[in-house]
Chains A and B, each alone.
Chain A
Amino acid sequence: MTETTAPAALPPTVAATRATTPPSGKPHDFSRKYWVFAMPAAVIISAVIVFPWLFTMFMSVQDWKIGGGIDFVGLDNFRTLAADSRFRESLWITFYFTVLGVVLPVVLGTAAALVFHREFPMRGLLRTIFVMPMMATPVAVSLVWKMMFHPQLGVLNYLLQQVGIGPSEWVFNPNTVIPTLVMVEVWHWTPLVMLIVLGGLAGLPKEPYESAVIDGANGWHMFRFITLPLLWPFIMIALIIRTIDALKAFDIIFVISEGGPGTASETLNIFLYLQAFQFYKIGYASAVVVIFFVIIVMLSLLLLYSRQKTKWNA
């Protein structure tokens, strides 16, 4: 039987698009031809996302070392990882670094945005200076920071001594290395958070503030009950971006501390790099990637869910 009308379940517009009757009387089902247009994107996505991911899954169940043979080992790599104290330690360090590297820039960036949102002399110049760190190349600034951290010859200890504070060992001490690296991260990425929140502040409606003034609200009340709730969607975006950035941080850590002293700043990324590109254990490194992927997916879902919750209600 020749189909001449749209299925009842489809809305009329979709039905009209999917099946039309040309003057010849023979209908065209365009839905069967549209896939051709999606093919280029599908091929590219398959090549650069789907295939590498499937291949990583495949490698993660092999005992595969570059220069050696390939043997199927099932879940052995994952079992070894679970028993690897250095891997577990790297998970904890990643968590520690990420929490500090997200919370501090978001708090400071939001505060900076509130300051720069107000009118004051030379605001434009100061705002430009404030965002400059963000434009610097991470590897280049890391090298400069590393020189400044030198316990004997670095400028930071010289400055501390000038104000009567004793010298610090910065990244050359297992106890201070992560807070110091976070300090670089905060210096580098707080401006990004500031720009996101500043954009949000510029778009806030004025009416709630006018009503609040009539109701006798003070500055704090207006910030606590109007500005902050309205800014949450923007802060959430900053949180998501910062979380992704902090989780994937590699360049700053690798250049400044190389994961040391010892393993004190060996995050999951540094651990992964060592396994893959220093020890050439491709199978084992792929298992790390799979676990890292699961963590990122779970975290992303959590953050996206939270973002949905903070959306303004129309």
Chain B
Amino acid sequence: MSKLPFGDLSRRDLLKTTALVAGAVAAPAIVSRANAQSKFDWKRFKGEKIDVMMVKNPRSDLLQAAEKEFTALTGIEVSSEQIPEQQQRQKAMIEFTSGRPTFDVVLLALHVQKRLAYKGKWVDDLRPLLNNPEMTNPEFDLADFGEAGMNFATQSDGAITTIPHFVDFWMLYYNKEMFAQKGLEYPKSMDEIVTAAAKLHDPSKGVAGFVSRGLKNANIPVWTSWLLGQGLETIDPKTGKLNTDGPEAVWAADFYRKLNKEYAPPGTIGFNWNECQTTFAQGRAAMWLDGIGFATPLEDPTKSKIVGKVGYGVTPPGPKAHHSAIFCDGMGIAQASKKKGAAWYYIQWATNKENQLAMLKAGAGAPGRQSPFKNPEGVQSKTFAKDYFDCMANSGKIGRPGLPQIIPVTEFRDIFGVALTNTLSGADSLTELKKATETFKPVLEKSEQG
């Protein structure tokens, strides 16, 4: 082989290097041509500035930290703010009603605001943008979003008003060590939850068999999780009929009362998720039914005594059906925005495969897309065991809304939440649910008329 005047560099190395340099030089032209073919150009709205209103949570932290990448990609400046959940919902309500929202992109809690946002004409139907090849990146891949999230994002007439950014699955956390000590397997049915709770409940050691929310309003998803085991949602999504005082609803309320009264720690009647989380993290409860989005502190040694002992189980099947109650956040474009193009670019970027994968990797919750779960990088974690990811993936397959998709969701939660709390104080389930149903009926009817 002839020696070239570049030290030890062989001819093959030289050819390889030349090819790489040539490729790098030609790359922009190739990308540009590809863009021209797809008609999509990330720089189309260069120089614009958009406002984004988020909810305060780790997912928003991730997006804010990556905003510079979006600006580098598109030339669009982003001004984003994070607001605590309850206040963010109030701000959205007031600003959208005023007709002049101060943001272009908004994160909506679809389990609460889906119908309200569409009826109130808060956000745009995204279908024209999704179908426009000049406006939507060919790599966006809407089909990658899971069915559970897309059901939330899609209105009854087919309009897609948001892109599902985050999906929360209700599941059963369990303490593997406690189960092993009693020789118990993970419950295969809802009835087995009760059996296991009875065996694990030991007040003398300060250990409860089961814990879940008892505080009014917050306690509704616990009840709806059990009701889904009867194959019913609280309001039939097709007929709009209230399923809140039938035998199935009463069964679910009795089930709720049994677990929260007989096998729960004292005071659960006033517990929200944070009290439940603390109780479980301190090894004072064997099982906890709640959203998987609350998992991270359980694996943090500074906050938890049960690191590495947490099992993540899909909500067990009920007597008639097997479902996981789901909740969803989505991103939409304010109808009043004057920068809808730039806003849509932001949503495409925020919900792209890379950012959704980053969410899963960071343990910030379940993304709306399916591809992160198929990516080995996404489901390998130093913090979480495999069952954490399996639980999310499998819950997604059997997900159904944990709250009714109606406008007065908050009233629903309040009225039925009080009824359920009253059952913990000894009131009769049927009487309480009938009373709550009678109170709520006119509220629902009025909301549909207006």
A-side residues, CB < 8 A to B, are: 65-69, 150-153, 167, 169-174, 177, 257-258, 260-263, 274, 277-280
Question: Which listed residue, B96, B271, B418, B450, touches A262 by the CB 8 Å rule?
Answer: B418
Query: Is the pair B90, A152 in contact by a Cβ cutoff of 8 Å?
Result: no
Query: Which residue of chain A is the closest to B267 with respect to CB atoms?
Result: A172
Query: Which residue of chain A is the closest to B439 with respect to CB atoms?
Result: A86
Report the minimal beta-carbon distance from A80 to chain B, rounded to whole angstroms: 11
Query: Is the pair B214, A261 in contact by a Cβ cutoff of 8 Å?
Result: yes
List of A residues within 8 angstroms of B450 by Cβ: 65, 68-69
Stretch from B56-64, B274-282, B381-389 that touches the partner: B274-282
Most chain B beta-carbon neighbours within 10 Å: one of A66, A170, A274: A66
List of A residues within 8 angstroms of B270 by Cβ: 169, 171-173, 177, 257, 260-261
Query: Is the pair A66, B93 in contact by a Cβ cutoff of 8 Å?
Result: yes
Is B408 an interface position by the 8 A CB rule?
yes
Report the minimal beta-carbon distance from A25 to chain B, rounded to whole angstroms: 60
Chain B interface secondary structure, helix, strand, loop or mixed?
A: helix
Is B215 an interface position by the 8 A CB rule?
yes
A151 to B422, CA, bound (A): 19
24 cross-chain CB contacts under 8 A: A65-B450, A66-B93, A150-B267, A150-B278, A151-B265, A151-B266, A152-B282, A153-B282, A171-B270, A173-B267, A174-B269, A174-B425, A257-B270, A258-B215, A260-B421, A261-B421, A261-B425, A262-B269, A262-B418, A262-B422, A262-B425, A263-B216, A279-B410, A279-B411
A170 to B267, CA, bound (A): 8
New contact pairs (19) apart from A66-B97, A173-B269, A260-B269, CB-CB < 8 Å: A67-B93, A67-B116, A152-B266, A152-B267, A153-B278, A167-B266, A169-B267, A170-B267, A172-B266, A172-B271, A173-B267, A174-B269, A257-B270, A258-B217, A260-B270, A261-B269, A261-B424, A262-B422, A262-B425
List of B residues within 8 angstroms of A150 by Cβ: 267, 275, 278
A257 to B421, CA, bound (A): 13
Report the minimal beta-carbon distance from A260 to chain B, rounded to whole angstroms: 5
Chain A interface secondary structure, helix, strand, loop or mixed?
A: loop
A280 to B278, CA, bound (A): 32
Is B154 an interface position by the 8 A CB rule?
no
Report the minimal beta-carbon distance from B257 to chain A, rounded to whole angstroms: 13
Q: Mark B278-297, 1 if CB is under 8 A from A, else 0.
A: 11001010000000000000
A171 to B271, CA, bound (A): 10
Report the minimal beta-carbon distance from B332 to chain A, rounded to whole angstroms: 16
List of B residues within 8 angstroms of A170 by Cβ: 267
Q: Which of B420-450 contact A (CB under 8 A)?
A: 421-422, 424-425, 450
List of A residues within 8 angstroms of B94 by Cβ: 66
A151 to B94, CA, bound (A): 38
List of B residues within 8 angstroms of A258 by Cβ: 215, 217, 272
List of A residues within 8 angstroms of B272 by Cβ: 258
Is B206 an interface position by the 8 A CB rule?
yes
Query: Is the pair A278, B421 in contact by a Cβ cutoff of 8 Å?
Result: no
